[in-house]
Amino acid sequence: MPTIHCKCGAAYRFPESAVGRRARCKKCGSEFRLEEDDIGTIPIANDLEPAPVAPPPAIPSGHVIIETEEVSEPLVDRTLPSHGYGQSILWTILFPASVRNLVTYVVVVLMIGIGGGLPLIGWIVGFLIALWYAAFRFSVVESAAGGEEDIPSGAFSTDVVEGLLFPMLRWMGSMVVVMAPAVVYVLIRSRTQRDFAGDVSLILLSGPAGLPEIFKLDPTLFVLVCGGLIVWPIVILCVALGGFASLIRCDLILRTLVRSAPAYLVTILIVAAATAAEVAVTATVNALLIAGGPRSAGGFIQSMFGMRLVATAATVYLDIVMCRAIGLYYHHFKHKFAWNWG
């Protein structure tokens, strides 16, 4: 089995299957990622009482001897959450009350609201920011699933592969999976209606605000899209915790949904409410922009920028609440999941 050493000196052994997972040190409480970098073995006691192991190899001072029953599973915090589910959801709604969270939130809003509006190269910057924002939202789901109370700062990491590329691909991949039935339907409709795929693409560019337009265009497509959004929370959790391979086990997904139906329903309601609020905010801003058309050019541009920044702030807030609610669903009800993810 691979081993890992915490910065406080504690050492742990864990199964190969836990590589890449996050863990919490039982001695100092620090969090770290389980990797295969550390080599060597940790002596294991033959009974319930820790017993020193004679060299070789010698155990560095500060290391701990792990009892047999502590290494039978990955080193993941399986203790009950320190806060109840209701308290965690309330804290999620009030997350800007923390100075650290507020600073991170403001930075995200400014990056999306201002960075995407730069002249000339705005579309390039906007595209890169969209990819970064996908990775950020995925990190929010991951951190909440791990029981963290603050918005993660990992999305600002200099590790482009681990901190940006992989989370972004997992976020977008989860959306591709849940929208696959809708995509197939669009392709079938496009065989008889050439402009159908183009119309749908233009609508989807507006994000959640395009849902009412999809309903007007084709109610069947609207049902498929909404169905994908309903299963998306469990899909993105599977991707975040077990990888894309876990999606093959549809039986385990169904068993998990049945065992945790009330909690999943609450999660769906939060996601639906956040999505509906985003649609309402976007529609309101667009209506105000249209109403402000007759103003002078300078005043109109200034007003447009201000309203779009407010809309961005509302959207980012709702996205964070939505993503944390999904992660908290696993954190508080993981004992009902059909997988052993910790």
Q: pLDDT digit string (tens) for 37-48?
A: 444 433 333 333
**Of 70-74, 204-208, 324-328, where does mean pLDDT reach its minimum?**
70-74
Q: Does residue 314 or residue 165 have the better pLDDT?
A: 314
Tens-digit pLDDT profile for residues 143-187: 999 888 888 875 555 566 776 788 888 998 998 999 899 889 888
Tens-digit pLDDT profile for residues 75-124: 444 344 456 899 999 999 999 999 999 999 998 998 887 765 555 455 67
Instruction: Indicate yes or no: pTM above 0.75.
Output: no
The tokens describing 239, both together, are 């991707």
Q: Does residue 99 or residue 10 have the better pLDDT?
A: 99
Give the pLDDT score at 165.
Answer: 80
Q: For the residues 60-80, what does the mean pLDDT come to?
A: 40
Give the pLDDT score at 287.
Answer: 78
Give the pLDDT score at 114.
Answer: 72
Give the pLDDT score at 297.
Answer: 44
Average pLDDT, the chain: 76
Percentage above 90 pLDDT, the chain: 28
Give the pLDDT score at 105.
Answer: 93
Whether 284 shows a pLDDT value over 70: the answer reads: yes
Give the pLDDT score at 35.
Answer: 67
